[in-house]
Amino acid sequence: MSRRIPLIAGNWKMHKTGMQAVEAATQLQDLVKHATDVEVMIAPTFTALYQVAQALKGSHIAVGAQNLHWEKQGAFTGEISADMLVDAGCRHVIVGHSERRQFFGETDASVNRKIRAALAAGLFPVFCIGETEAQREAGETFSVLDKQVRDGLKDFVFDDLSDLVIAYEPVWAIGTGKTASKEQAQEAHQFIRSLLDTLFGKPFASAVRILYGGSVKPDNVRALMEMPDIDGALVGGASLDPETFSKLVFFNH
Ligand code: PGA
């Protein structure tokens, strides 16, 4: 089995102006400069991307965006293309976050096109999936994940996907303080990995990183990261404060 380097990713959502983002990123850089064997990514808002990427030049913190449009350019008011994100200094882009699905009409089909556009531009897509509370209570967790993975990755082949990262984020755990237990998270991650094995084969399934997201905090990160199929975290609330986020980066200390 190939070794999966953990990725600790911060999703800053609609927080921080450019100056505030640069300040937090610079502090974080200093706090995590001795971190080894872990990748770190932060995803500020669009307006802060370039400044943050400039401020972090030469550091090992990567910059990601929170969304993109699938077209290269054109009459799409308010949208941003993959090439524009690369130009702003991004290496990653979050795709299909549940807030985009819930509030902005994101579908498995649009997620599929966005993943394709991101990969074509050389970005690492962080492809988010996860069930709602009602779906979990109805016993539909696995069927929801199955559909999201199959439709989100429809018409891809193994070779296309080497830069893909997946994030399992149960919607009921996002921003609620209700983390999935490490067993619940592991069970979902294992399900996703075995589905990827079926769809794309073992080399891909054993190499792809699957992050957990949903109220990850310094006091629960270690237990989650000890689970065999959890390869990192996608963090909202606890990523905003550099000190707190740095504790997540040093989860194994
Ligand atoms: P949270 O958000 O850590 O605040 O729950 C996670 C996410 O939305 O990616």
Mean pLDDT of 97-108: 97
- pLDDT one-digit tens code per residue, 163-188: 999 999 999 999 888 888 999 999 99
Mean pLDDT of 226-235: 98
Instruction: Output the pLDDT for position 175.
Output: 86
Mean pLDDT of 22-47: 97
Q: How far is the CA of 178 from the centre of ligand 1 (A)?
A: 11
pLDDT band at 246 (very low <50, low <70, confident <90, very high): very high
Q: How far is the CA of 217 from the centre of ligand 1 (A)?
A: 10
Q: Which two tokens stand for residue 190?
A: 């294992």
Ligand 1 pocket test, pick from 165, 216, 217, 239 with the greatest ligand atom count within 8 Å of Cβ, gives 216
Hey, whose CA ends up nearest to atom 7 of ligand 1? 236
Q: How far is the CA of 232 from the centre of ligand 1 (A)?
A: 13
Residue 161 has pLDDT above 80, yes or no: yes
* Nearest residue to 234 (alpha-carbon basis) of 120, 124, 151, 140: 124
Instruction: Output the pLDDT for position 179.
Output: 85
Mean pLDDT of 138-152: 98
- Protein residues whose CB sits closer than 6 Å to any atom of ligand 1: 11, 169, 174-175, 213-216, 234-238
Radius of gyration of the chain from Cα atoms?
A: 17
Instruction: Output the pLDDT for position 178.
Output: 84
Give the CA count within 13 Å in the CB-facing half-sphere of 128. Answer: 28
Mean pLDDT of 195-216: 97
Residue 1 has pLDDT above 60, yes or no: no
Mean pLDDT of 111-134: 97
- Pairing relationship of beta strands 124-129 and 165-168 according to DSSP bridges: parallel
Instruction: Output the pLDDT for position 2.
Output: 58
DSSP letter at 165 equals E
Instruction: Output the pLDDT for position 232.
Output: 98
